[in-house]
Amino acid sequence: MSDFLTQLITIIEDRKRHPQPGSYTNQLLSDPVQAARKVGEEATEVVVAALAQTDKRLVEEMADLIYHSLVLLSAHELSWSAVLSELQQRHARRMGETQETDPQ
């Protein structure tokens, strides 16, 4: 995991433990429905950027999607490491399926 991603997760968790007045992150953490809507909005913007905008815009929208996704996970008491664990498990299952069907 990149150092900044770890730092961003730490900032989000710190906001959760020590709310700050006017913090956008705190607004989202206190309203998981709003956080979920923002993830949906950002996901749509990623698709639009990928299909009809510049690579720079795609990166910007992907950054927004990742930030909002991290906040949504935190609002649900979940972590990025849980997502990574799920990806690893899926990969391991897929590799197991490939090995079972690949006679070497």
pTM score: 0.87
**Residue found by looking up tokens 């909005």 in the block:** 41
Instruction: State the helix-helix crossing angle for 3-17 and 55-75, rounded to 10 degrees.
Output: 40
Q: Note every long-range contact of 87-93, with CB atoms under 8 Å and residues 24 or more positions apart, other chains counting.
A: none
Average pLDDT, the chain: 93
Average pLDDT of the segment spanning 54-82: 98
Q: Which domains does the chain have, with CATH numbers?
A: 3-79 (1.10.287.1080)
pLDDT of residue 94: 86
Which carries the bigger pLDDT value, residue 99 or residue 16?
16
- Window from 22-36, 66-80, 83-97 with minimum mean pLDDT: 83-97
**Residue 100: per-residue pLDDT:** 61
